[in-house]
Amino acid sequence: MATNNIAKYITGFLGVYLPHERNVSPNTISAYRDGFVSFFSFLRDEKQIKIENAILSDINRDNVVEYLRWLIERQGNSIATRNNRLAAIHSFVAYLQYDSIEYLDQWQKVLKIGNLKKAHPTPVYFTKEGIKLLLEQPDSASYQGLRHLTVLALMYDTGCRVQELADLTVESMRIQYQPYSIKVYGKG
């Protein structure tokens, strides 16, 4: 086994640094973990480096660039997925800069790898009639229908994401007096 085995660094990154020092969401940790699984699959399949033999020097600019190309060309991933995988690698390498300073030049080269730009399609908006039709779909005479209508109306009126809506609590809402308000905690 290599002397600078990467496993202890990944464990510290995913298990301590991200949840306790950066306070990232479990979804982000899961996405980063999936990115590492993908990167190690690349190293195994394309570079013949087994995960138990992987060392810090395997996370270098050439391997990362080749991995990102592999994601799109061989795995059929989107640019967004490629950029998300790169974000995970960047975050990990930024973490490693303080623990493995002897690789600082290598880490800085990896951090200079940029995102690919993706074409953003013009958003298609609902018409007033479309919104009205959507809000008429739930059966407001039933409990479930009323709940569905409330969820749809809240998402439409506040512009919040599904997870932000799911995280709402009674304390998040001020409905005793006007103007009514909802405090949403989200990504930004």
What whole-number percentage of the chain has pLDDT above 70? Answer: 97
Indicate the SS3 state at residue 149: helix
Q: Express each pLDDT in 105-119 by its tens digit.
A: 999 999 999 999 977
Nearest to 55 by CA among 38, 71, 43: 43
pTM for the complete prediction?
0.64
In the chain, the domains with their CATH numbers are 7-111 (1.10.150), 128-182 (no CATH)
Distance CA 29, CA 14 (A): 6
Length of the chain: 188
Q: Express each pLDDT in 125-162 by its tens digit.
A: 889 999 999 999 999 999 999 999 999 998 888 888 88
> Which residues fall within 8 angstroms of residue 162, CB to CB, at 6 or more apart?
155
What is the pLDDT confidence band of residue 57, given thresholds at 50, 70 and 90? very high
What is the pLDDT confidence band of residue 188, given thresholds at 50, 70 and 90? low
What is the pLDDT confidence band of residue 2, given thresholds at 50, 70 and 90? very low
What is the pLDDT confidence band of residue 4, given thresholds at 50, 70 and 90? low
Question: Over the range 111-134, which residues count as b (16 or more CB within 10 Å of their CB) and which as e?
Answer: eeeeeeeeeeeeeeeeeeeeeeee
Indicate the SS3 state at residue 2: coil
